[in-house]
Amino acid sequence: MEGGVKIRHLIEELKLDHTELSDLFRKIVHLGITSDKGRKMLHDVEAKLLTHLKKEDDELYPILRKMAKDNQDLKLKLESLANDLGNVTKTISAFFEKYADGEHEADFKTDFQKIYLILSRRINSEERELFPEYVKSEPL
């Protein structure tokens, strides 16, 4: 795949992942985690999220870090998101660990709203701030 086509394709894949993850999280809330279907979907979301994060780490961020060497604004954005990512990862991991067994139904909606807000902010930051920078790396 040519460089520019590959970049556009990756951005579209990541955006589709974001949409799919958001949709799956909303479905889990409606199903509840005490249902078999809700627990299975929660495990599916966790796997999909980990795959998505790996794709970003392997394909998106290396190019952005390289670009940031000559772009102070991008460097600051990446540093901010990197600092935030540590907290996001800890929060997400704790969430999935807590609800892996389908218990704690009473806390689920509150905890879910927190995790959903964190992920939504992260998705918005990536799509508004990083994806346009990544597209700039596209060869002419």
Mean pLDDT of 55-59: 87
Please choose, from the candidates 102, 109, 95, the residue with its C-alpha nearest in 3D space to the C-alpha of residue 34: 102
CATH number for the domain harbouring residue 74:
1.20.120
- 7, 135 Cβ separation under 8 angstroms: yes
Buried b / exposed e along 5-43 (16+ C-beta atoms within 10 A):
eebeebbeebeebbeebeeebeebeebebeeeebbebbe
pLDDT-based confidence at 139, cuts 50/70/90?
Answer: low
What pLDDT sits at residue 3? 56
* Residue 2 pLDDT greater than 80, yes or no: no
> 138 falls in which pLDDT band (50, 70, 90)?
low
- CA-to-CA distance for 8 and 139, rounded, in angstroms? 11
The stretch 24-47 carries a mean pLDDT of: 85
The count of domains in the chain is 1
For 63-102, what is each residue's pLDDT tens digit?
Answer: 888 888 988 888 888 888 877 777 788 888 888 888 877 6
